[in-house]
């Protein structure tokens, strides 16, 4: 019995020391693991500033590839672990996101989970047709130009906002706007309608009304003014001339409408056969404004109409020096003199069309 008790007393101390060693080892391992997980969450992990695009329908593997292929993270494993713990893998939100150098993984995952996109600045100008608008705008969005163009040509879309096929383009005012990359065609159209009404405030509506014009009619006239002169400081003068002709019931006889009617804006010389083109946009044959804008006029052109110069000019002709400016006249006799100078300059430079 004595021997047995002695053996037990020798055995338990050994087991105690061994247990303590194991416990200490596990504690150290746990400490290292805890430290590792802490660094996964809070240690700097983003290598450089970057903007990433996460397409609609992406899964987590796709998102991982975006970070790996662009070499954005020091520890992609940390991104995977934190994403799992924060349940991001099941709630991927498409969009355009900007991450900053020095961010930790927690900041990255929080941003992506929130869906807080970085807007894009979408600019469009110098546009004449909806196909051009679709092409210019599509580069800022996830959607493609065909989807945009289809929406632009959908009868229901322009009817919803009180326009028709000819006047719908008046709703799209060229400028720079902020959008989300995931903006869909119908959302874009809705936003343009909001911007149209924001632009056409009471003050601008009153200015148009003073000339006997609605906002759409002012836009149509602005589109002609924009095509007529490349010189910004001449726009208000040109606008005043066309308003004078409208008030007198004269044909506008605007060469840009002929170019629109024949579908060729490269023409430098309007010929008699062009003037016979059968089109509602031919202002040499039909009085008043054409049925719709011939381009998407910029705000400067619309403002030129709303602040048109008050003068007595009824005629104008491009200057013979090809400067882009015009010679203005109050009488047809003076206009014919100016027109002859320009024709001679065209002949001298062998410009026949």
Q: Are residues 172 and 221 in the same domain?
A: no
Considering the domain boundaries, does residue 242 fall inside one? yes
Considering the domain boundaries, does residue 31 fall inside one? no
Q: How many other CB atoms are there within 10 angstroms of residue 176's CB atom?
A: 9
Considering the domain boundaries, does residue 10 fall inside one? no
Q: Are residues 135 and 261 in the same domain?
A: no
Say if CB 164 and CB 209 are below 8 A apart. no
At residue 351, the pLDDT reads 83
Residue 61 has pLDDT above 90, yes or no: yes
Contact partners, residue 109, CB within 8 Å, separation at least 6: 79, 82, 83, 86, 88
Considering the domain boundaries, does residue 32 fall inside one? no
Q: Are residues 137 and 75 in the same domain?
A: no
Q: How many other CB atoms are there within 10 angstroms of residue 49's CB atom?
A: 12
Please choose, from the candidates 119, 97, 118, the residue with its C-alpha nearest in 3D space to the C-alpha of residue 108: 97
Q: Are residues 299 and 342 in the same domain?
A: yes
Q: Are residues 243 and 341 in the same domain?
A: yes
pLDDT digits (tens, 9 = 90+) for 287-312: 999 999 999 999 999 999 999 999 99
Last residue of a domain, one of 155, 171, 199: 199
pTM over 0.95: no
Instruction: Give me Rg for the CA atoms of the chain.
Output: 35
At residue 5, the pLDDT reads 52
Please choose, from the candidates 153, 219, 216, 151, the residue with its C-alpha nearest in 3D space to the C-alpha of residue 188: 151
Q: Are residues 186 and 219 in the same domain?
A: no
- Please tell me the chain's helix, strand, coil percentages from 3-state DSSP, rounded to the nearest 5: 55, 10, 35
Q: How many other CB atoms are there within 10 angstroms of residue 277's CB atom?
A: 16
Q: Would strands 120-124 and 95-99 be described as parallel, antiparallel, or unpaired? A: unpaired
Q: Are residues 229 and 317 in the same domain?
A: yes
As a whole number, the mean pLDDT across the chain is 90
Q: Within 13 A of 257's CA, how many CA atoms are on the CB side?
A: 29
Considering the domain boundaries, does residue 17 fall inside one? no
At residue 289, the pLDDT reads 98
At residue 42, the pLDDT reads 64
SS3 state at 8: helix
Say if CB 292 and CB 167 are below 8 A apart. yes
pLDDT digits (tens, 9 = 90+) for 268-284: 889 999 999 999 999 99
pLDDT digits (tens, 9 = 90+) for 80-95: 999 999 999 999 999 9
Question: How many angstroms separate the CA atoms of 317 and 336, rounded?
Answer: 9
Q: Are residues 259 and 333 in the same domain?
A: yes
At residue 35, the pLDDT reads 43
Give the number of domains in the chain.
3
pLDDT digits (tens, 9 = 90+) for 310-328: 999 999 999 999 999 999 9
Q: Would strands 95-99 and 50-54 be described as parallel, antiparallel, or unpaired? A: antiparallel
Say if CB 199 and CB 160 are below 8 A apart. no
Range of the domain at 103: 50-114
At residue 24, the pLDDT reads 46
Q: Are residues 130 and 72 in the same domain?
A: no
pLDDT digits (tens, 9 = 90+) for 1-32: 555 555 555 444 555 555 555 544 444 444 44
Say if CB 295 and CB 263 are below 8 A apart. no
Considering the domain boundaries, does residue 24 fall inside one? no
């Amino acid at each position: 019995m004595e021997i047995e008790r002695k053996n037990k007393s020798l055995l338990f101390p050994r087991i105690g020391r061994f247990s303590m060693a194991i416990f200490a080892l596990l504690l150290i391992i746990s400490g290292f693991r805890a430290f590792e997980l802490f660094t996964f969450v809070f240690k700097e992990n983003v290598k450089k500033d970057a903007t990433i695009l996460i397409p609609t329908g992406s899964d987590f593997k796709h998102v991982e590839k975006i970070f790996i292929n662009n070499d954005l993270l020091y520890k992609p494993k940390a991104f995977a672990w934190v994403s799992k713990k924060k349940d991001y893998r099941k709630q991927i939100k498409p969009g355009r996101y900007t991450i900053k150098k020095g961010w930790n993984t927690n900041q990255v995952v929080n941003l992506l989970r929130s869906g807080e996109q970085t807007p894009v600045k979408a600019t469009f100008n110098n546009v004449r047709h909806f196909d051009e608008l679709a092409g210019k705008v599509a580069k800022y969005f996830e959607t493609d130009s065909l989807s945009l163009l289809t929406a632009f040509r959908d009868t229901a879309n322009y009817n919803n906002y009180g326009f028709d096929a000819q006047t719908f383009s008046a709703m799209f005012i060229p400028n720079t706007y902020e959008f989300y990359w995931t903006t869909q065609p119908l959302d874009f159209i809705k936003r343009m309608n909001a911007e149209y009404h924001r632009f056409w405030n009471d003050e601008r509506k009153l200015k148009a009304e003073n000339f006997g014009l609605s906002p759409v009619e002012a836009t149509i006239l602005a589109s002609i003014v924009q095509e007529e002169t490349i010189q910004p400081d001449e726009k208000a003068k040109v606008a005043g001339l066309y308003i004078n002709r409208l008030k007198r019931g004269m044909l506008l006889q605007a060469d840009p409408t002929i170019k629109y009617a024949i579908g060729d804006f490269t023409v430098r010389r309007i010929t008699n056969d062009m003037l016979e083109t059968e089109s509602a946009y031919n202002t040499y044959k039909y009085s008043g404004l054409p049925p719709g804008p011939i381009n998407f006029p910029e705000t400067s052109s619309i403002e030129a109409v709303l602040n048109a110069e008050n003068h007595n000019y009824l005629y104008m002709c491009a200057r013979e020096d090809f400067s882009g400016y015009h010679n203005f006249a109050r009488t047809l006799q003076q206009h014919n003199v100016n027109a002859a100078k320009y024709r001679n300059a065209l002949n001298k430079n062998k410009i026949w069309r």
